[in-house]
Amino acid sequence: MRAAIFDCFSGASGNMILASLLNVTLTERDLEDVVRKLNLNLDFEVRQVSRKGISAPLIEVSEGSGKTRTFEEVVGLIRGSELDSRVKAESLKVFERLAVAEGRVHGRDYRKAVFHEVGGDDAIFDVVSAVIGILRLMDMGYRVFTTPIMTGRGFAETMHGRYPIPAPATLEIARESRLKLVIDGEGELLTPTGAAILAHFSEGEPPNPLMVREVSYGAGSVEREVPNVLRLILAEVFERDEIAIVETNVDDMSGEDLAFAVERIMELSHDVSVIPALGKKGRPAYLIRAISDLSNAEDVARAMMEHTTTIGVRILPAYHRVKEVRRAGRVEVEVLGRQYEVGVKVAGGRAKPEYEDLRRIAVETGISMSRLREIVKREMDEAANRE
């Protein structure tokens, strides 16, 4: 699996995210196109700086108007632009996160939320440009992760007065995301704009171990005690765990007893197989093989001995199993006019509905399992298109 990891040891802001993507999936020409397509009243400059000895690009924006906008005005600006439709949709989702957070903090309908610091041309420039860069990463097969984010502490001056750090809107954004925060550090390290961008795309903390392929940095505006940079790590990630193969041979069990034994062994295992074999003196036999966590292997072996006629079990440790990172979710499907929820596991770009859910619906409706799988796949495809 390819992973794009935003390593936020010094926080994250819109311009830091944007700078970390420069020369990875973004160029200065891309940034110029964003300004032109949105007709933004700003100038920007990219220059290389050093933050505690780490060289990184810094994007400095000079805004002309400093305009305050409502959420609906931002929506109108982006929708009416020449941007790609997918970029428009994802950028608006980021701004909706910001608007919802502002609405909760101030007790207002988020659609009427007024953006101050995050409604100007510079914030729109940061969000849209970062969205373009991250979408290109995803098109290259990368999934987005974030390390725990340093937020900073203290107080900051805002349009509403002196506010605590992390800002209330930042915490609201994090509350509806998979981001993990570390409330420590000097000043405001995590801005609402940075939080909203990462919250929208991040799947949480990255799995380990990883093989690093590329590293990029984006500089923050000021010097701090630690290098004020956001690090973007592009890596290959393999999820490894320690398992055991627990197996035995039997040649004197009935089919019914064998089926019962498999049910009991399955309760303690990831998977159980029964493989036809040739036993002693040419007798038909079965190889019963279970895959379990290494820590649970002896319990599986005891269950195997208790529920089969075997008098010996082999435990074969496998320390380097490599498996796809899996995600689980649920999808709503309509069958004969009724709504059902079906669990879905996704791994390696493949989605598999949960058998027990399909079985339950098949029993209730009389529809075949193959037809139900087609319905679930269609619903998943439609949901992906809506996103």
How many CA within 13 A on the CB side of residue 16?
A: 28
Distance, in Å, from the CA atom of 303 to the CA atom of 189, rounded to the nearest integer, reads 54
Give the model confidence (pLDDT) of 303-314 as tens digits: 999 999 998 999
Query: How high is the pLDDT of residue 368?
Result: 87
Name which residue leads in pLDDT, 244 or 209: 244
Q: Is 353 exposed, middle or buried (0-12, 13-18, 19+ CB in 10 A)?
A: buried
Query: How high is the pLDDT of residue 321?
Result: 57
Give the model confidence (pLDDT) of 38-79 as tens digits: 999 999 999 999 999 999 999 999 876 666 788 888 999 999
Give the model confidence (pLDDT) of 319-347 as tens digits: 655 555 566 667 788 888 888 888 877 76
Mean predicted confidence (pLDDT) in 285-296: 91
Query: How high is the pLDDT of residue 323?
Result: 59
- Catalogue all structural domains in the chain, each as residue range(s) with its CATH number: 2-237 (no CATH), 240-323 (3.30.70.1380), 326-386 (no CATH)
Phi-psi region of 214 (alpha: psi -120 to 50; beta: other; left: phi over 0): beta
Mean predicted confidence (pLDDT) in 230-234: 98
| CB distance 150 to 69 below 8 Å | no
Give the model confidence (pLDDT) of 90-126 as tens digits: 999 999 999 898 888 877 766 666 665 555 888 999 9
